[in-house]
Amino acid sequence: MSELDQLFAAHRAAGRKAFLPFVTAGDPDLDTTAEVLRALARCGASVAEVGVPYSDPIADGPVIQASYQRALDSGFRLPQVFDLANSLRGQFAMPLITMTSYSIIHRTGMNRYVELAQAAGYCGTIVPDLLVEEAQPLADVCRAADFSLIQLVTPTTPRERQIRIAELSSGFLYFVSVTGITGERHQMPPGLLENVAWLREQTPLPVCVGFGISTPETARTLGRIADGVIVGSALVRRIAEAESRAAAVESVTRFASDLIAALAEK
């Protein structure tokens, strides 16, 4: 079993729902990213997604796009995402995964990217722009290395295609809650709960929901049907608005703690 397999198996046995925060590597700097990750681990986050800044994000809204640009403008380069995980090794048990464009993996080389990420301490990656028709080679590389390949299902993905995506994924499935880009929202689209429930019946993989989750109420509702919730823009915005590293850590800690508490409610 991979690290994510073990984590979700333990969560299911305990009746616990996963909280998966997203942060952008290097925004505003790597030291802040590291401190925020340590704070999220202390709060009880299940898995942290570390975004690899990219100049042409596919589905990211203005908040995350701006964070990528800030990191790139400050000189962020790919090796630093591996340095980040290496610097945190042994400091907490919370697994780390990357979120990256397939173009970065392709340019690095599939085997080399997985090798570098795994050596640094990451246990998987989310690749939002990888089409299922082109996913088999990377899925094979990841399975051979016991490195999770998490792929996305959207509200407009035909159900037969959802099953195919699930077959080529590992770790968990990322269910996009809305059609569109990332960003904070205050209402769930019609049919979301039913669609997530259907997908969970089709695959043994955990199904976690992301895009637009920004309140404890939404997290609580989704936690009743999904295996976990993914929160990105609301966290990234708090980091961007903070006047200092300490203020960013305090804001993230308070917000994450509220969401984790909501997920624990029965």
State residue 214's pLDDT score. 84
State residue 266's pLDDT score. 65
Q: Is 49 a catalytic residue?
A: yes
**Upstream peptide bond of 137 is cis (omega within 30 degrees of 0):** no
What does the block give as tokens for 42?
């202390």
Per-residue pLDDT of the chain (266 residues; tens, 9 = 90+): 899 999 999 999 999 999 999 999 999 999 999 999 999 999 999 999 999 999 876 656 788 889 999 999 999 999 999 999 999 999 999 999 999 999 999 999 999 999 999 999 999 999 999 999 999 999 999 999 999 999 999 888 999 999 999 999 999 999 997 654 444 445 565 688 899 999 999 999 999 998 778 899 989 988 888 999 999 999 999 999 999 999 999 999 999 999 999 999 86
> Is the CB of residue 199 less than 8 Å from the CB of residue 169?
no
For residues 14 and 27, what is the distance between their CA atoms, to the nearest angstrom?
34
Q: What type of residue sits at position 207?
A: V
What is the Cα 63 distance to its own chain's centre?
A: 16
State residue 143's pLDDT score. 96
Q: Please, which residues have CB within 8 angstroms of residue 137's CB and are 6 or more apart in sequence? A: 110
Catalytic residue of the set 31, 60, 243, 250: 60
What does the block give as tokens for 150?
């998490």
For residues 172 and 79, what is the distance between their CA atoms, to the nearest angstrom?
26
State residue 60's pLDDT score. 63
State residue 94's pLDDT score. 98
Domain 3-264 is classified in which CATH homologous superfamily? Answer: Aldolase class I (3.20.20.70)
State residue 140's pLDDT score. 98
State residue 185's pLDDT score. 45
For residues 61 and 104, what is the distance between their CA atoms, to the nearest angstrom?
20
Task: Render pLDDT for 196-213 as a digit per residue (tens, 0 to 9).
Answer: 999 999 999 999 998 778
Q: What type of residue sits at position 117?
A: A
What does the block give as tokens for 34?
């590291």
Q: Is 60 a catalytic residue?
A: yes
For residues 206 and 4, what is the distance between their CA atoms, to the nearest angstrom?
10
Sign, CA torsion 193/196/202/208: negative
State residue 186's pLDDT score. 55
Q: Give the 3-state secondary structure of residue 242.
A: coil
Catalytic residue of the set 49, 83, 201, 250: 49
What does the block give as tokens for 9?
């198996």
State residue 257's pLDDT score. 97
Question: Residues 237-244: contacts with CB within 8 Å, 24+ apart?
Answer: 237/63, 237/184, 239/23, 239/27, 239/28, 239/32, 239/36, 239/67, 240/27, 240/28, 240/63, 240/66, 240/67, 240/70
What does the block give as tokens for 55?
């100049």
**Of the candidates 116, 118, 124, which has an alpha carbon nearest to the alpha carbon of residue 47?**
124
Q: Give the 3-state secondary structure of residue 23.
A: strand
Terminus-to-terminus CA distance in the chain, angstroms? 28
> Is the CB of residue 115 less than 8 Å from the CB of residue 147?
no
Residue 103 has phi, psi (to 5 degrees) of -60, -35
